[in-house]
Chain A
Amino acid sequence: MDVLHRNNVVVEGRTDGPVIMLANGFGCDQNMWRLVTPLLADEFKIVQFDHVGTGGSDKSAWREERYSSLDGYARDVLEICDALGLGPLVFVGHSVSSVFGVLAAGWEPGTFEKLVLLTPSPRYIDDHDYTGGFSAEDIDELLDSLDSNYLGWSASLAPVIMGNPERPELSEELTNSFCRVDPSIARVFARATFLSDNRADLARVTVPTRVIECAHDVIAPREVGAFVHEAIPGSELVTLDAVGHCPQLSAPEQTAEAIASFAARTDDER
């Protein structure tokens, strides 16, 4: 199987620059990085991809067994790195993708030079001594929201788009295409994302890590940012003066700067 086709892997930016992999979270596709990539492209080689079942990925490769747990997505990250063969790279994971980076780096630290965790959360649901920000009922409510919003997805359009992976412009023309996912796939992804608990995995990270949080984020509040920072040995925490869960869209300059300053730093500067 061609992993690069499966995950719609796109490589751009400076050909001889250090490699940064950008992984978007639950919801939309690699277009999430659209405002940030122009700011990084002069200095870095940039790898982007879509999670299987979303965006321009090969939907026929989607299997519920594999993608109903976050491990499946993390394995995909390692397979992409392996297929690219670009050597250790800086992994930037947004939201749930930061957990994919944490898992993958725990299994194969040699694949990564550094990790950047953008608005990460290892667990969304409150626990007795942990504030994740949500209750199990809240997550059910989100699943209902997914059910009532199809965002331009329709079964009759899907085969046309799936059958033309070499012509992504076909899907580009459609409104809401950045977030269009088969509702049944979105449901499985949402459950995997919001019902998982990866707190114990944080301590296994041994590669240099920077946590980037937003000052006002309803999905990953500051308590969670602090938790992740404390749980990953030697990690650093940067707080952006930004609102919302997606600073790469609401504060692209600050976000690009926070990524670049960490990714470009050599060991002796630390």
Chain B
Amino acid sequence: MTSADGEGSSDAPRSRTAHLAYASLLENNAEDLFENAPCGYLFTLMDGQIVKANRTLLTWLGRTHDEVVGRMRFADMLTVGGKLYHETHYAPLLRLQGEVSGIALELKAADGTRLPVLVTSTVMTDNDEHPLMVRTTVTDARDRRSYETELLRAREDAEHERARLQRLASTLQRTLVPPHLSAPRGLEVAAHYHIASRDEVSGDFYDLFPLAAHGTWGLFLGDVCGKGAPAAALTSLARYTLRAAAVYDPDPVTVLHNLNTVLNTEDYEQEPRFATVLFGLLSAEREGYRVTLASGGHPEALLLRGDGTAEFVPTPGGQLIGVLAEPHISTTTVRLAPGDTLLLYTDGLTEAHTSAGATDRYGDEALLDFANVLAPSTAEETVDALAELLDAFGEGLDDDTALMSVGVPRGGDGPRT
């Protein structure tokens, strides 16, 4: 095409001129490339003395060649904090690795202004690998630094918020378990609450309280589904429902059915709300206590006998509370003689991750073995030993765990009814 040819012919001289201009810029221009590079460039001896510095760097520093070269050390260009950092990190790394890259420092100009920079250095060696000199480039990092400052501020805000959340969570958690349990006469009681995460409220709960009939007490320990604020609200509801229901009719099966009815109420249909609970009715006997236990899908209680044996208290077939309209609730009765201790716990204990064992969970079997070694044991000794076990799980314990034990002391003044 003629037009294209025409353009081509008129363009050719122009591109030739440009090409020549590029060539002259690139040729014989090592010096210009050094002096006017878009970064600061300097050579230092191994003791830091500056032996060569380019114009870009001198301009940033606001100093002349003669003020810098042969007179200043690398660290002299830095702020005092930067000097400290240079001595404790930069210089050692350079010696140990032969190079350091991307270190954030601040240059201090002659007029006192500061320029955030990123610095990269490599050591030049002679043929015998002896260090001779250091080559350093310095890049302007003002934009990057202001962005990082924003990130840092965001991180500080986040840390602050997290601390606030943890305070809130721990305050809320404390309201879900009683600060102190009072014990019926002739019975020892101990409890422990292990918090797995300081960030989130979990739904374990327990309580022990006197009932109207003389010498009878109610006790419960349970675990609601979920975590966080909804779990806390549900825990509160479960705890007060159980107490109120027990006052109205202390029969353990009736109490759990009442809780089931409340949790099943239409208002709560949007999200699943259920709990596992062990509810017990304690009645004083001539020698100790009788405990009627009702289970709504909760791990079986553990009985540590005064004769040194331990066994689970079977409550098979008990169903979750809050799921079905008419859940099956299983009951059993145990007698606590002097020296016996009954332990209730939530599944954080048996579900803890351990490296030993066939599965990676602690499990019922290991717990029973532990109890067999521990028994005989008072209520307090039992809870202390298990609290220690929970601590030993460390990171393996990822769920909150509640422990409560009641025991009849040996040879103490038994209940008189």
Contacts and interface: CB of A to CB of B under 8 A. Distances in A.
Given A28-B92, A145-B105, A149-B103, A175 B85 contact: no
Interface residues on B, range: 20 to 34
A249 B91 contact: yes
A31 B93 CA distance: 10
A218 B74 CA distance: 12
Residue with the greatest number of chain A CB neighbours at <10 A, chosen from B73, B83, B145, B148 = B83
Nearest to B141: A148
Given A151-B89, A244-B87, A244-B91, A176 B97 contact: yes
A176 B93 contact: yes
Contacts of A148: 104, 145, 148
Most buried by A among B46, B47, B105: B47
Contacts of B105: 145
Contacts of B85: 142, 145-146, 149
Given A26-B88, A28-B89, A219-B84, A243 B48 contact: yes
Contacts of A63: none
Contact of B96 (A31, A135, A243): A31
Interface string B79-123: 111111101110111011100110111100000000000000000
Of listed A145, A147, A246, residue having the most chain B CB within 10 A: A145
Nearest to A216: B47
A31 B131 CA distance: 18
A250 interface: yes
B387 to A, nearest CB: 20
A218 B78 CA distance: 12
Given A28-B89, A148-B148, A149-B104, A250 B81 contact: no
Given A142-B85, A145-B85, A146-B85, A179 B92 contact: yes
B91 A138 contact: no
A260 to B, nearest CB: 21
A32 interface: yes
A210 interface: no
B152 interface: yes
A140 B73 CA distance: 23
B211 interface: no
Given A138-B80, A149-B104, A219 B87 contact: yes
A34 interface: yes
A158 B80 CA distance: 30
B92 A178 contact: yes
Contacts of A135: 80
B394 to A, nearest CB: 9
Given A147-B152, A179-B93, A218-B75, A250 B80 contact: no
A219 B85 CA distance: 10
A59 interface: no
Interface string B147-158: 010001000000
B87 A245 contact: yes
A34 B152 CA distance: 35
A141 B79 contact: yes
A249 B92 contact: yes
A219 B92 CA distance: 14
A243 B82 contact: no
Contacts of B91: 244-246, 249-250
Contact of B82 (A140, A141, A216, A245): A141
Interface string B48-81: 1000000000000000000000000101000111
Given A138-B80, A139-B81, A249-B95, A149 B48 contact: no
A55 interface: no
A144 B95 CA distance: 24
Contact of B84 (A28, A142, A244, A250): A142
Nearest to B84: A142
B81 A244 contact: no
Nearest to B149: A148
Contact of A246 (B81, B82, B87): B87
B84 A138 contact: yes
A243 B89 contact: no
A134 interface: yes
A27 interface: yes
Contacts of A151: 89, 93, 103
Contacts of B83: 218-219
Interface in A6-53: 25-28, 31-32, 34-35
26 contacts: A26-B88, A27-B89, A28-B88, A28-B93, A31-B96, A34-B96, A135-B80, A145-B81, A145-B82, A145-B104, A147-B152, A176-B100, A178-B92, A178-B93, A179-B92, A194-B84, A218-B83, A219-B83, A219-B88, A244-B47, A246-B87, A246-B95, A249-B91, A249-B92, A249-B96, A250-B91
